[in-house]
Amino acid sequence: MDRCIAKNNGNVGWLPVNGSSGYDNFYKSIDTVIMGKTTYNPVLIFGAYQYQYKKSYVFTRNSDHKKYGTCPICK
């Protein structure tokens, strides 16, 4: 999904910050988060991991993969 939600430069400015986007209801309905490492890396700068109460998997093609916190890095 990397670069499918974010633009090529990683910008997600088009996502609504306030208002009714349906994201809150969607987020409450899932128990697992899957993302690419290109998406995962910037998430780490936001402080506490925002998906800490969800099972999380991060996928990468990089052979230098390992577990970060509670989030396994999958190749």
pLDDT of residue 65: 54
Can you give the residue ranges of every domain in the chain? Answer: 29-74
Q: Which tokens go with 47?
A: 């402080």
44 vs 42: CA distance, rounded Å: 5
- The more confidently predicted of residues 12 and 29 is 29
pLDDT of residue 26: 85
**Which range (13-17, 60-64, 71-75) has the least confidence?**
71-75
Q: Does the pLDDT of residue 4 top 70, yes or no?
A: no
Q: Sorting pLDDT into bands at 50, 70 and 90, what band is 74? A: low
Chain segment 22-66, per-residue pLDDT in tens: 778 888 999 999 888 877 877 777 778 888 889 888 887 776 655
In 3-state terms, what secondary structure has residue 40?
helix
